Amino acid sequence: MRGLRWGGLLAACAGALTVIACGSSPVTPSPPTGGGGGVVTPPANNPPAIASIAIQGARAKEPANYADVNEPVTVTAFVSDDETPVANLQFNWSAPVGTFSGTGPIVTWQAPASATTPMDVQITLQVVERYGSTPNTFEHRVSGTASLSLHDAAKEVGEMSRQFLLDFSDSNIRDIASIMRNFQPGCYGTADETAQVTENRRRYRITDSSVGAATTTVNFGGLCPYGPKKGDACTAVPVFWQSNDLDHAGATERVRGTDWLASVYVPTQKRWWLCDSSFEGQKALGSTFIR
């Protein structure tokens, strides 16, 4: 493999970026014929080299190679060429969804306003170098790819949060692992929440409930307001539960309030996980919290 002349490497993006290595596949077309119909030998010229392509959103602590629907992210190509200045190369960007703005090695990819998520989006770059002299002009074309994970965090996390609470509210569901299926194993609140759900199934039978709409805020590496608890996303869901206390025959307990759920995003798995659930609410006279 030809070594890169790093003196010509473009590194024009601000801040630390996680780099996705991408392959280069130079293609040299058949040389054109000269005016007399003979084959013209191209002058010596090395093709451009795409060292890597980086994808980074602008939100604080946002992971690399991540985007939410309708979010613009910066895409940066690190390219070098032995003979041609990078500014004189042609950069052709493409992706199956979304749109690009800008030209050259640094562009903005705009995620679509809606999509079925999560989904992987492959961004492709073709770099064209033209060399030689008119009328005998030759070209190299090399290409590379990078992948990003597209999400609708508010929808994905909100649906997971509501599903957990709906499952919890149905005392006929006895499979604790199923109820906890969207909690990340080993996350700081998972074990405690599993124990609480297990105790609820032992002591209470929920006879009436309501689970409202989820409101989710994404704040990578931040804190959720109740607790406060660590979370890349925080969800609030209004809830009501009426339960029979199996430890006290004839006792009925009612509680109404908000369930706060903290979630984390795991880049290596390209998915969101629930991490903690905390209830904040009011109980009726003579009642106790069911969780």
Distance CA 54, CA 106 (A): 10
Distance CA 96, CA 228 (A): 40
Domains and CATH numbers, the chain: 6-151 (2.60.40.10), 153-283 (3.10.450.50)
Q: What is the average per-residue pLDDT within 99-121?
A: 98
pLDDT in tens, 67-81: 999 999 999 999 999
Q: What is the average per-residue pLDDT within 220-243?
A: 96
- Greater confidence (31 vs 202) lies with 202
Distance CA 212, CA 197 (A): 20
- Greater confidence (248 vs 105) lies with 105
Q: What percent of the chain has pLDDT over 90?
A: 78
Q: Which pLDDT does position 134 carry in this prediction?
A: 80
| Cα–Cα distance list, 155 to 151, 161, 233, 239 (Å) | 9, 10, 11, 18
Q: What is the average per-residue pLDDT within 136-160?
A: 97
Beta-bridge partner residues of 99 = 110
The Cβ of residue 25 has, within 10 Å, a number of other Cβ atoms equal to 11
Q: Which pLDDT does position 15 carry in this prediction?
A: 33
Is the distance from CB of 250 to CB of 215 less than 8 angstroms? Answer: no
Which region among 152-156, 204-208, 287-291 has the lowest average model confidence (pLDDT)? 287-291
| Cα–Cα distance list, 149 to 89, 98, 210, 233, 287 (Å) | 28, 13, 34, 17, 46
CB half-sphere exposure, 147, CA atoms < 13 A:
8
pLDDT band with cut points at 50, 70 and 90 for residue 21: very low
Classify residue 179 by burial, with Cβ atoms within 10 Å: 0-12, 13-18, 19+.
Answer: buried
Distance CA 53, CA 76 (A): 6
Place of tokens 């990340």: 184
pLDDT band with cut points at 50, 70 and 90 for residue 282: confident
Phi and psi for 4 in degrees, rounded to 5?
-90, 140
CA-based nearest residue to 74, from 98, 54, 89:
54
Position 1: which residue type?
M
Q: Which pLDDT does position 287 carry in this prediction?
A: 55
CA-based nearest residue to 144, from 120, 121, 125, 122:
125
Over the range 233-248, which residues count as b (16 or more CB within 10 Å of their CB) and which as e?
bbbbbbbebbbbbeee
Beta-bridge partner residues of 131 = 138
Q: What is the average per-residue pLDDT within 125-139?
A: 92
Phi and psi for 157 in degrees, rounded to 5?
-70, -40
Radius of gyration of the chain (CA): 28
Over the range 93-129, which residues count as b (16 or more CB within 10 Å of their CB) and which as e?
bebeebebeeeebebebbbbeebebeeebebebbbeb
Q: What is the average per-residue pLDDT within 85-103?
A: 98
